[in-house]
Amino acid sequence: VSAVWPRIIAHADMDAFYASIEQHDAPELRGRPVLVGPRSLRGVVLTASYEARPFGVGSAMPMARARRLCPQAVVVPPRFERYKQVSAQLMRALADFSARVEPLSLDEAFVDMSGSSHIFGDARSIGARLKAAIREATGGLTASVGVSASKYVAKVASSFAKPDGLTVVPPDEVRAWLAPQPISRLWGAGPKTQARLAEMGFATIGDVAGADPARLTAALGRIGVRFHALSRGEDVREVAASRTAKSLSCERTLERDIDSREEIERQLRKAADGVGRRLRKNRLLAGGVRVKLKTSAFRVLTRQQSLPAETQSSEVLYGTAAALLAAFDERGPFRLVGVCAYDLCSAAESTQLDLDVGDGARSRRLDAALDAVARRFGPGAVQRGSDAIGQSGIVGDVNLDFLNDDG
């Protein structure tokens, strides 16, 4: 079972992304075939829920044909703003695991987890933790995850067991695992290339891997050599580091709406902890704090405050956020609570980290302890004492008894 992993690369791809969001937001759609796309018969289906797929419908199919194939499907017009929100939740969840997250589209990304085994466990538990974190961050949506030693194989693996799949392909099993896959799984090969490969008598990735590269070049040009290498699982491309964010936020749609000040503060505390942890991990300082509340009627309210000194302390973020609550007129109930750090700058460029005394030092030690636990057991593994016992207010010490191990 133990194989040498030169790199550990995960690829996560949300299942029936737009349709799953619609089913999440409108529970009456759950378990039913859903087509996301224009109501007009002239448009195309953007995606179909997994309940609709057995009828043979899917992305890019003309709506008229899809509705003929699956007349009982509910057609839902797309809400791109909402999909972008969920995409941001997804990417933020992944950013908790690695500084190297490369989004490929709204609903998929590569995560370079090389060298994280001592923190997150072997490849399979890394994949499981990613899935759990995505589920948590998106309010219950599922992703399929592939883990291997290259981008290409991770990408093919994530689509292998959809939906809600987890496929791990150890480096020494790559060739054998790829071989029986149909050439439609050959990532990067469009319909024309696939048709060409089929004409040449290739049905599987293994057929391409075993072909004479000269023959592939003759048929496909220079890209032929590339497909030959990929079909053998040879792919040295790096996961591109993500760009520095301008702001960083943690927000959560709650399972039930809340209006008590204590509960709101508790959610702010969690969000501030998450933001602080990511600031520190990415060596960033925040120049301001913004609180976001969404009412049960979906009205979004924000209040913000710039800081006298840049910070990466969870305590300062929380204190500022809690103080901002007084600036809201609305009393709730709220369905979402979030904290955003803005005006970010690199800690290396700042001169303000020299306060190793008093409360500053104590809260920094607490941050460091919580960060270490989050690194070891996954984000979300640690709660502060105030969360766990339902009190509000600032705690000066951390009780590690509240650990749980499910990321």
Least separation, in Å, of the C-beta of 3 and ligand TTP? 27
Footprint (CB under 6 A) of ligand TTP, residues 6-35: 13-18
Angstrom distance (rounded) from CA 380 to CA 17: 24
Residues numbered 79 to 118 that lie near Mg ion (CB under 5 A) are 107
- Pairwise CA distance, residues 129 & 8, whole Å: 14
Residue 359 CB neighbours (<10 A) = 13
* Minimum distance, C-beta of residue 23 to Mg ion, in the bound complex (Å): 14
Find the shortest distance in angstroms from Cβ 202 to ligand TTP.
23
Of the residues 40, 59, 260, 391, which one makes contact with ligand TTP according to CB under 6 A = 59
Residue 362: other Cβ atoms inside 10 A: 13
Per DSSP (E only), the strands in 32-164 are 34-36, 47-48, 74-76, 101-105, 108-112, 143-148
Nearest CB to ligand TTP, comparing residues 14 and 264:
14
Least gap, CB of 185 to Mg ion (angstroms): 15
**According to CB under 5 A, which one of 9, 12, 14, 321 is a site residue for Mg ion?**
14
In the complex, the smallest distance separating the C-beta of residue 90 from Mg ion, rounded to whole angstroms, is 10
Residue from 9, 11, 12, 17 binding Mg ion (CB under 5 A): 17
Q: Among this protein's residues, is 22 annotated catalytic?
A: no
Give the 3-state secondary structure of residue 16. Answer: coil
Kindly name the residue from 22, 51, 102, 108 that is annotated as catalytic.
108
Among ligand TTP, Mg ion, none, what does residue 38 contact (CB within 5–8 Å per kind)?
Answer: none
CA pair distance 53, 73, nearest whole angstrom? 10
Does position 22 interact with Mg ion (CB under 5 A)? The reply is: no
Torsion angle of the four alpha carbons 18, 20, 25, 29, in this order, in degrees rounded to the nearest 10: 110
CB nearer Mg ion, residue 46 or residue 382: 46
Alpha-carbon gap, residue 354 to 357, rounded angstroms: 9
Q: Select 26 or 300, whichever has its Cβ closest to ligand TTP.
A: 26
| Residues between 80 and 109 with contacts to ligand TTP, criterion CB under 6 A | 107-108
162 binds ligand TTP (CB under 6 A): yes
Give how far the C-alpha of residue 272 lies from the chain's centroid of Cα atoms, to the nearest Å.
Answer: 19
Sheet of strand 101-105: strand arrangement: 101-105, 108-112, 9-14, 143-148, 166-168
Query: Whose Cβ is closer to ligand TTP: residue 83's or residue 120's?
Result: 83
Name, in order, each residue with C-beta under 8 angstroms of 323's C-beta and a sequence gap of 6 or more.
305
Rounded CA gap, 312 and 278, in Å? 9
Mind telling me the catalytic residues?
Answer: 108
Binding site for ligand TTP (CB under 6 A): 13-18, 46-47, 59-60, 107-108, 162-163
